[in-house]
Amino acid sequence: MEPVTQPPTMSNLTPIASPRNGWRDACIWLVQAFLFGLVLTQPWFYFSNQHQYYLHGLALANVGQLSEDWLANTADPTPIFSRLLAGIVTVFGTTALQLPFILLAGLYLSRLQALFTRMTGWSRYSQGGIVFTSLIVITHSGAIRRLSATLFGIDFPWYLQSGVAGQYILGAGWQPSTFGTFLLAAVVSAMEGRRRIAALWIGLGCTLHATYLLPGAMLVLGMLVVDWRERGLRSAAILGCLSLASVLPVIGIAWSTIAPSSPETFAEAQDIIARTRIPHHAQMTVWLNKIAWGQIVWMGLGIAALWGTRWFPLLAVPGAIGFGLSVWQGITDSNGLALLFPWRISILLMPLATAILLTKMLQLILAHPWARHISRPGIITGTMIMVIFAGLGIWLVATGRSYREVPEEKPLLRWILEHRQPGQIYLVPLAIPQPSMERRGVVSTSFTPAPRAKPGQPLIPVDLQAFRLECEVPIYIDYKSIPYRDVEVLEWYSRLMWVDAAYKEPDWVATGIAEEVKRRGITHVVAPSNLVPQVPNWETAYSDLYYTILLVK
């Protein structure tokens, strides 16, 4: 294939910086990483999926009484991530958990900048490079996302960086999904001709989060096509063996976690996860809507923009495989295939498509003569854009306008944190959401207000996602966090159904629930203050307008 045609040399596109300087580049990278991490806007601890993935690591670090929690003692789906988290917390404390996200955000931004440079031949320090970086900052800004959610009720900018089915690389803070940045780095390394380095990036990303095994395999197949065409079958075979060797350890770890105890038990557990716990990720009938179709078209345009270049197969092959497997899952309605998430490749293709299409747009705009008027003041403006949006990110977090919180829970959580003791197990109310068949799609709720009570109701809807980690105490069960080994999934579901049924019963004595609570080792019962179970010999340990804690006796 012919190499990408380079645009004409223009005075406003010449690099500002002098030739490469390692120390200077490292300092610029660190500053950009820090600012971009602020631009993205992290929540303070803990939020969303962090409640799932931090539990094992915090328990290993002996935080509070979390090591006594039932879920903390189930099979860990991300053991290397948990040990990394435990090491950071043990040495530096929980505040340091903000740092990995900033570093990965810096890698994400630098790889998109490298993609821009590879496609255009322009330095990231050129006027064109600064404009590109500014556009990436704007499309990823938490402030812009918040503005969109406020004005339209929908976080539209989120869909330019996230994949379909509510999946993403850089979500709300550090979690295993953020290591998808390594797969993004693999794509750019492959475009730079360093495909063996790319294979190692893929292996590292899969090792830290096994759910990347399928999209990683898709990327490897794309690299093999390119390598075979350019370097021959022998080089492609070596690359394939290296790629396989890099993921063999994580395949063994994943199999030890999810290996079926029996075909029937495994199938039942898969059905519970796919259809009860995460249908918004696993059921196409739930997540496929007009916005998702728009994202599919956007990814297709991004891949098509590389037509005629040597890089086209690198994205076209995984895109075609992901689309084909997704269609097959829709036809067969297979739980097993759904939980492999063939559409997860979209978490890479969407930000790549956005970067590619922005690059193509800039190439067209900056090729016009009037673009020569963009000069050094434009560079200063571009730098100020990142600083301004970073400041807005800090302001959103500081004023509580960023990630959704439920302030009514805070007094309850503070009281428990101050009064927790070893041996306590809390029973908390839960809500099992039901997917709406009338409104498809997965929306980002990060920047939308938390649910509130309807008129005439004194209480907010039950949430309490933060209960376990913020209070650092064991709980009996909740809906948010789940195990992955099949027998443990069935136990989780059994507990879930029992708790759901118990809180619907007003009389816990007559129904035997009070005795069952004691039998299950529960020491404290949390209930909405207008729905407190009536058990005569249980004492009220805490009460406010919204929640009451009963001491089990």
pLDDT band, very low/low/confident/very high, at 153 (cuts 50, 70, 90): confident
pLDDT reported for residue 406: 79
Q: Is pLDDT of 514 > 50?
A: yes
Most confidently predicted of 239-253, 290-304, 371-385: 290-304
**Average pLDDT for residues 378-398, to the nearest whole number?**
78
Nearest to 332 by CA among 340, 164, 291: 340
**Average pLDDT for residues 41-70, to the nearest whole number?**
91
d(CA 434, CA 285): 13
Q: pLDDT digits over 447-506, tens only?
A: 777 666 665 555 556 678 889 999 999 999 999 899 999 999 999 999 999 999 999 898
Our CA angle for 4, 358, 212, nearest 5°, is 85
**Average pLDDT for residues 63-80, to the nearest whole number?**
95
Higher pLDDT pick, 52 / 441: 52
Nearest to 157 by CA among 243, 51, 41: 41
Residues ≥6 apart with Cβ < 8 Å to 31: none
pLDDT reported for residue 530: 86
With a pLDDT cut of 90, the percent of the chain lying above it is: 61
pLDDT band, very low/low/confident/very high, at 4 (cuts 50, 70, 90): very low
**Which residues sit opposite 540 in a β-bridge?**
550
Q: How much is the mean pLDDT over the chain?
A: 88
Q: SS3 for 224-263, per residue?
A: HHHHHHHHCHHHHHHHHHHHHHHHHHHHHHHHHHHCCCCH
Q: Which two tokens stand for residue 536?
A: 């005569």
Q: pLDDT digits over 25-39, tens only?
A: 888 889 889 989 989
H/E segment holding residue 176: none
Q: What is the dihedral of CA 60, 63, 69, 74, to 10 degrees?
A: -20
Q: Is pLDDT of 324 > 70?
A: yes
Q: Is pLDDT of 15 > 70?
A: no
Q: pLDDT digits over 196-234, tens only?
A: 899 999 999 999 999 999 999 999 999 999 999 999 999
Q: pLDDT digits over 106-135, tens only?
A: 999 999 999 999 999 988 888 788 889 999
pLDDT band, very low/low/confident/very high, at 380 (cuts 50, 70, 90): low
pLDDT reported for residue 374: 57
pLDDT band, very low/low/confident/very high, at 370 (cuts 50, 70, 90): low
Most confidently predicted of 169-178, 293-302, 394-403, 422-431: 293-302
Q: CB under 8 Å, gap of 24 or more: what pairs does 542-545 form?
A: 542/412, 542/415, 542/416, 542/419, 544/411, 544/412, 545/408, 545/458
Nearest to 224 by CA among 213, 215, 233, 212: 233
pLDDT band, very low/low/confident/very high, at 438 (cuts 50, 70, 90): low
SS3 at position 321: helix
Q: Is pLDDT of 508 > 80?
A: yes
Q: pTM of the prediction?
A: 0.91
**Average pLDDT for residues 19-24, to the nearest whole number?**
68
Q: Is pLDDT of 288 > 90?
A: yes
pLDDT reported for residue 297: 97
**Average pLDDT for residues 343-364, to the nearest whole number?**
95
